[in-house]
Structure 1
Amino acid sequence: MDPVPALLAMTYRALGDQFHDRLRQIGLEPLRPAHGYVFRFLKERRATTVDIGAHLGVTKQAAAKIVAELDEWGYVLREPHPTDRRAQYVALTTKGRDYLKLADNLWADLEGEMAEAIGAATLDTVKQGLTAYLRHVHGDDQPGLRPVW
């Protein structure tokens, strides 16, 4: 049997692949996992491209490319920064917030399918165990969802 970290990574990949397959079936833009991390990061805040790049662990140029794609598709808008003329704030649009609701529903569907596959009680135990482990490692200061490149 594979070690737990490998099983977690393979499960995350399988869920992500299913999620993106469903996005393609719906006919949305060719969103990638990096876009999803930006949506989640911007859910509660507006941020600069530099902030987004730091969150993703990518260069400012790579973050700017992701922001440009999301802007072109209407998921984000760019606003002037109040104190730095070179910077812009990036915020979700209504379309971006609607996408987050859709994504949450798709993830809930996938979680439901996982519960069918392994049993609801087993899934609850897995969730409790993972939550306890994260609390053990990070205490009450849980990190936000970030990519692991």
Structure 2
Amino acid sequence: MEPVPVLLAMTYRALGDQFHDRLRQIGLEPLRPAHGYVFRFLEEKRATTVDIGQHLGVTKQAAAKIANELDEWGYVLKEPHPTDKRAQYVTLTTKGRDYLKLADNLWSDLEAEMAEAIGADTLATVKQGLAAYLRHVRGEDRPGLRPIW
């Protein structure tokens, strides 16, 4: 059997692939995992493209490209920064918040399918174990979801 980190990575990839397949079936824009990280980052706040780039671990130009795509599709609103003429704030729109609700529902559906595949008790044990490990490594400080590229 594969080591735990490999199994976790493969499971994360399988779930992500299923998630994006369902987005395509619904007919949404060609959203990529990087977009999802931006949605979650902006869920509670507005941010500049520099902030987004730092969060994603990409250049300001790459972050601006992602923000422009999300703006063109109506998921975010870009507003002038009040003190920095070169910067813009990026904020989720109603469509962006609705997408987060849809994403949460899709993730719940995938989790239910996983429970069917491995058993609800097993899934509950896996979730408890992973949460305990995160508390062990990070304490109660739960950093935001970030890509690992």
- Give the TM-score category using the shorter length: over 0.9
Corresponding residue number in structure 2 for 1:83:
83
- In 2, the alpha carbon distance for the partners of 1:16 and 1:130 equals 18
Q: Which ranges of structure 1 fall in alignment gaps of 5 or more residues?
A: none
User: Where does residue 134 of structure 2 map in the other structure?
Assistant: 134
Identity %: 87
Question: What amino acid maps onto 2:137 in structure 1?
Answer: V
- Structure 1 residue ranges, 4+ long, deviating more than 6 angstroms after superposition: none
> Partner residue of 2:22?
22
In structure 2, give the amino acid aligned to 1:127. Answer: K
The normalised TM-score by structure 2 is: 0.99
**Aligned match of 2:104:** 104
Deviation, 1:142, is 1.2
Partner of 1:71: 71
Instruction: Find the aligned partners of 1:45 and 1:25 in 2 and give their Cα distance.
Output: 30
Q: TM-score, normalised by structure 1?
A: 0.99
Map of 1:1-80 to 2, 5 A cutoff?
1-80=1-80
SS of the equivalent of 2:90 reads strand
**Matching residue's letter, 2:48:** T
- Report the count of equivalent residues: 149
Partner of 2:118: 118
Gaps of 5+ in 2: none
